[in-house]
Structure 1
């Protein structure tokens, strides 16, 4: 008898699958299978007419547990798993494979030097001294193809387990000589043909010696040009032409053929582990061929390659000091390459695969038992079960990013609202709410780290939010009172939260107590009216920072109110602030002021734009770019009720957070914090209830004034001008090259919104 872990069988039902390779896992419960650790299962694949579509495969079975990698053919497939102990003990899995040819594929490419010998490193222990079996270009092509199907199967199974459906990237394929199975070695009379991943052979103008320059070796700490291999690979692809033109926005996994272990320098050369995502152009993840000798050429070799404890020897590189056996070398090579492909698909350094979780755990994805690890001096696991810890997975945040890429699209998917979760402080509950139109799917909590790994427990989620969000049941709004936080946690200890949404965005609150202690609710003296403040904070505050508040209506000396007519949004390489101009010709900066009533420094901002506010028009939404690697906020954009929008977000420098008033409120002012050199570290909105005349006392509240310290509230006219140091060379050092529309005057009456194009991520990451 068999039970399956990742398929549900029902009479007459056929499961639809949209990627060619998949993992089948389960358990044979017969007594003979349960008692043995060295058993096996046989996997046969046929079509609806019982014609064999793929050669029979044998996979290890340990105490009844088994895993198998299966390749499907378009149409109906019958996958039959048979116990090696009893041919009558079998199970049939009906599957319908439909290739999604309308989705963009992952392209595979090999970079070859102009004078390349077309050989890769191969130690004597892998027949390198007596045979070219594992060292030729043909061998590299065969190994690359199998690795790509392993990546595809791992991703599909992992995303299925996360509730996102059995989805993965499609590979660019072609009808060619079948290198996927051993039958290609034994076909004497007729060449075996099949559908195989297409490998683009891309020539570079550089010689082998140039690629192997120590200055370009990524593992050389003194190397001056360690990014050059990625740049050179990109240029070679573009010179190669279709399908690598920028307008096609290809995603490419690139293998460098001429990588080599330099025995004299004791360094791997012509190798770099780098990945870059560019939705407006070519996205590329690259890796060297120095571990490829340990990879399987055929599906039949996968179990052996992932269990082989032979030592590679002294003639090949020991990447990251983790390649001490053949199977560990295979895990590091295939896993680290997938890590770089993850970067090409927009994943940053998070957890799991994007934090080197593949190094020890790659074999657990494909096998029911593992081998001895010389690196960690640990015995192999027997058996690998669904409960076995495995860090070779995608972080949920990465999986959600993938789900929203065209490469991972499935029939029936719907477009999600692209905005990230936002925090809104609420007057009604004297607490906060987390809102996201796309739906919140996970809450993470931490006490001493920015990198939150553990999801909030079911019990704690119910206590805090009376809801347990998940991928299957996203929650649009989570509310909590200030009192509940104080009841459950010690306010003297830092407490971090991260809210992850179904669209792959997230909101990180570094310290919830700081958010609650901020002037979130302001009661107007002498009334029951409460003002609500919502803020985006960089988390960096210094002793000499200035706090300020600016209202959209201000009171003149005669007591009459004058409304704001224009807002000058000052954005350069980061957010300088804004200047609010009033109908009477006066102006107040959203930034520090001197004791004389004018700015301590003139505001810069080469992307500054002015947003005119007509009578009867309100500001309805504010977007602020929160930095990923800076102390300052990076951008600011505002929307009016008539649809006009203005500002620059600098999206490549951080993550955008949106500020909107609570239901039944409207924006009446701004608050924030700025450094002495006029750079914002916090920017927020002040909201007041609709339909209520605000009392005069509101205009005397200290937090809502931008008064020079120790002086009266007298405001002076001033004309902001560029700083002396604002020059072309100054802006060239900043990455302002997001969607051009975010830096242009879009006073056209339309809300251009937010989309994947403006969320460009272009970063390079090494694995070491």
Structure 2
């Protein structure tokens, strides 16, 4: 007698529906298969009916499974087949326990991709740290690292791609649209990159002066710019927005564990931006444990081999076994269980495998993570700026604020978030109860009072309270000591009274200056009639000329270019648009009657020194040396 296996054993997909549209090439599919009341192990085979990607096999634990499914653009007919060996016997006939589903993959080509780059020293040996058994199999060479980097990155991001032999599967090499990896050669030697003083975790002995050598981050950034496209863009910075920036994940190939120094040389885990490029870098010391192919993902995440610290790094004591070298940094799935864990790990139980809430808020408005139904975003490159106001701080950001983090002594304590769910999805603010939005004054501005901060965190008198602000355009700015900021930025001017100072842009290490436009004497009829700026790639000097023939000059004597503009008696300066980093790179003045041209260079980040509502600008302040290296404005209530 033929007894068919009950259809209830067939795979059931939980997180994806038939005909669903997705936007990632490698899709995590979670489901159930087999009897739900038996302790068993089995396998799911994933077959692709349309594309030429090889079949892959994924484990089933107690009816639960996870699989990483490769997709091609367009409709993909995917078959999930449960291995019947645990159920079949010679006296039974088992039809295939199969579920077929169509998944539509639409790549979001309108979003900026993540570029992958591997930095190599100019005399690199082109190998990474690896245990002897992997060295024998040549799993430590550059081609192996390229495959590992590609596979690991596809588990998270949409990547820059090109048509070339694909390495995502180890079974059959085929031409596919796959991630491009740039091999970026440095001008620095292996010895220079492995200099202990450049390692992020290097602790100088007592009395040793801090190193003034170029950092690993600077070395990587310089190599990208020397490499050329896609890491260089000839357009003027002032014409750009942050949605068009180049996002790069950078792997330092030549990182090396030094067991005598207990130091990972050639390694730094840092991120930041420089003009067109947003770069995150990290060393290759744990790459030996990464999967090269999708077929290796399960084994790599299950590999409980202990790290031999005589040849391999146990980074921060958190990589004691090989599967921990992957950890949750990639938000990759456990296939269904962790080493020594006999039960399946469901998505709801993956404690520790989640992004921190603050990271999620950063990603919410990031151009790399846009989906088609998201409303249009303002991706200008203006940074958030700070303005003191009695016992509160006004935070202004032209593109709106998504997150304010609160730190005590440089450690995260709490945050305010500004996620307008209904505005994002329906164009209005109905039922919006997010805890940060009640602080919002109007679009782009947030008022954060000291009393509000005290409700969220408690601190001791000697603690330093700082805030980190992230705009929806992915710009960031920090205020390192809010109580000191409020105290130092409220001033008393003779015959004018109480006034306020904005935050100062630039490094602020030169000689202090202050220029007041508003005359203290009511009898004086003198007014500001002309401003002259000398500049090159930076602002060298600013000269103010009054109608009574008096002059205020700030800055040095350099600058091969000169720009002047005049003001009439009724004309007032309302604000200054500024690009700044270590110095004041460039600026543009705005009056109640006109805007000047852009004056100076286009480096640094862009800021608006434009007043909050109901205030008037009465002067500027800052610091000067050979160049203007600090600039802010002085203002008071109208």
Q: Which TM class, normalised by the smaller chain length?
A: 0.5 to 0.7
Matching of residue 170 in structure 1 with residue 159 in structure 2: yes
User: Which of 409, 414, 431 is matched with 1:449 structurally?
Assistant: 409
Structure 2 residue aligned with 1:550: 516
Question: Following TM superposition, by how much is the alpha carbon of 1:562 offset from its aligned partner in structure 2, in angstroms?
Answer: 1.5
The 2-side partners of 1:232 and 1:509 are apart by 28
Change (3 A) 1:613 1:14: same
Question: Following TM superposition, by how much is the alpha carbon of 1:39 offset from its aligned partner in structure 2, in angstroms?
Answer: 4.6
Question: Following TM superposition, by how much is the alpha carbon of 1:75 offset from its aligned partner in structure 2, in angstroms?
Answer: 0.2
Structure 2 residue aligned with 1:144: 149
Unmatched 5+ residue regions in structure 2?
1-7, 88-94, 205-210, 236-244, 419-431
The answer on whether the counterparts of 1:234 and 1:284 sit within 8 Å (CA) in structure 2 is: no
User: Which of 379, 390, 411 is matched with 1:416 structurally?
Assistant: 379
Q: Which has the higher helix share?
A: 1
The answer on whether the counterparts of 2:441 and 2:447 sit within 8 Å (CA) in structure 1 is: no
The answer on whether the counterparts of 1:673 and 1:681 sit within 8 Å (CA) in structure 2 is: yes
Structure 1 residue aligned with 2:443: 476
The answer on whether the counterparts of 1:554 and 1:562 sit within 8 Å (CA) in structure 2 is: no
Change (3 A) 1:95 1:136: same
The 2-side partners of 1:380 and 1:288 are apart by 33
The 1-side partners of 2:300 and 2:453 are apart by 54
Question: Following TM superposition, by how much is the alpha carbon of 1:535 offset from its aligned partner in structure 2, in angstroms?
Answer: 1.5
Change (3 A) 1:437 1:52: same
Matching of residue 324 in structure 1 with residue 320 in structure 2: yes
Matching of residue 686 in structure 1 with residue 635 in structure 2: yes
The 2-side partners of 1:256 and 1:680 are apart by 33
Matching of residue 504 in structure 1 with residue 493 in structure 2: no
Change (3 A) 1:115 1:89: same
Q: Secondary structure at the match of 1:437?
A: coil
Unmatched 5+ residue regions in structure 1?
154-167, 185-190, 332-358, 373-378, 459-464, 590-601, 690-768
- C-alpha RMSD of matched pairs (Å): 5.8
User: Which of 32, 35, 38 is matched with 2:36 structurally?
Assistant: 32
Matching of residue 638 in structure 1 with residue 637 in structure 2: no
The 2-side partners of 1:614 and 1:563 are apart by 8
The 2-side partners of 1:237 and 1:673 are apart by 32
Question: Following TM superposition, by how much is the alpha carbon of 1:305 offset from its aligned partner in structure 2, in angstroms?
Answer: 0.9
The answer on whether the counterparts of 1:53 and 1:73 sit within 8 Å (CA) in structure 2 is: no
Structure 2 residue aligned with 1:536: 503
Question: Following TM superposition, by how much is the alpha carbon of 1:304 offset from its aligned partner in structure 2, in angstroms?
Answer: 0.8
Change (3 A) 1:452 1:681: farther
Change (3 A) 1:482 1:583: same
Structure 2 residue aligned with 1:751: none
Matching of residue 197 in structure 1 with residue 179 in structure 2: yes
The answer on whether the counterparts of 1:69 and 1:366 sit within 8 Å (CA) in structure 2 is: no
User: Which of 89, 94, 105 is matched with 1:97 structurally?
Assistant: 105
TM-score, length of structure 2 as denominator length: 0.67
The 1-side partners of 2:628 and 2:220 are apart by 37
Change (3 A) 1:564 1:386: farther
Change (3 A) 1:45 1:371: same
Structure 2 residue aligned with 1:721: none
Change (3 A) 1:677 1:442: same
Q: Secondary structure at the match of 2:144?
A: helix
After TM superposition, the structure 1 = structure 2 runs for residues 608-687 of structure 1, keeping only pairs within 5 Å, are: 610-623=564-577, 638-640=589-591, 641-645=593-597, 652=604, 656-663=606-613, 665=614, 667-670=616-619, 672=621, 683-687=632-636
Matching of residue 293 in structure 1 with residue 263 in structure 2: no
Matching of residue 383 in structure 1 with residue 345 in structure 2: yes
Q: Give deviations 1:521-572, integer Å, cap 9, x for gaps.
A: 99999xxx99874511589999xx989671334537xx14221113456899
Q: Secondary structure at the match of 1:390?
A: coil
Structure 1 residue aligned with 2:549: 585
Question: Following TM superposition, by how much is the alpha carbon of 1:382 offset from its aligned partner in structure 2, in angstroms?
Answer: 6.3
Structure 2 residue aligned with 1:693: none
Q: Give deviations 1:251-279, integer Å, cap 9, x for gaps.
A: 66565667666789987777777777544
The answer on whether the counterparts of 2:230 and 2:246 sit within 8 Å (CA) in structure 1 is: yes
Q: Which has the higher strand share?
A: 2
Structure 2 residue aligned with 1:306: 301
The 1-side partners of 2:252 and 2:479 are apart by 41
Q: Secondary structure at the match of 1:324?
A: coil
TM-score, length of structure 1 as denominator length: 0.58
Matching of residue 183 in structure 1 with residue 176 in structure 2: no
Structure 2 residue aligned with 1:369: 337
Matching of residue 57 in structure 1 with residue 19 in structure 2: no
Q: Secondary structure at the match of 1:455?
A: strand
The answer on whether the counterparts of 2:290 and 2:300 sit within 8 Å (CA) in structure 1 is: yes
Change (3 A) 1:174 1:566: same
Change (3 A) 1:449 1:15: farther
Change (3 A) 1:215 1:610: same
The 2-side partners of 1:622 and 1:414 are apart by 24
The answer on whether the counterparts of 2:162 and 2:177 sit within 8 Å (CA) in structure 1 is: yes
Aligned residues: 579
The 1-side partners of 2:622 and 2:275 are apart by 33
Change (3 A) 1:662 1:144: closer
The 2-side partners of 1:69 and 1:418 are apart by 37
User: Which of 14, 24, 33 is matched with 2:20 structurally?
Assistant: 14
Change (3 A) 1:658 1:605: farther
Q: Give deviations 1:40-62, integer Å, cap 9, x for gaps.
A: 6636354xxx5465334334556
The 1-side partners of 2:287 and 2:450 are apart by 58
Matching of residue 42 in structure 1 with residue 44 in structure 2: yes
Q: Give deviations 1:634-654, integer Å, cap 9, x for gaps.
A: 8865322412156658853xx
Structure 1 residue aligned with 2:72: 73
The 2-side partners of 1:687 and 1:98 are apart by 53
The 1-side partners of 2:149 and 2:454 are apart by 56
Structure 2 residue aligned with 1:211: 190
The answer on whether the counterparts of 1:626 and 1:634 sit within 8 Å (CA) in structure 2 is: yes
Structure 2 residue aligned with 1:123: 131
The answer on whether the counterparts of 1:397 and 1:500 sit within 8 Å (CA) in structure 2 is: no
Question: Following TM superposition, by how much is the alpha carbon of 1:76 offset from its aligned partner in structure 2, in angstroms?
Answer: 1.2
Structure 1 residue aligned with 2:139: 134
Change (3 A) 1:212 1:611: same
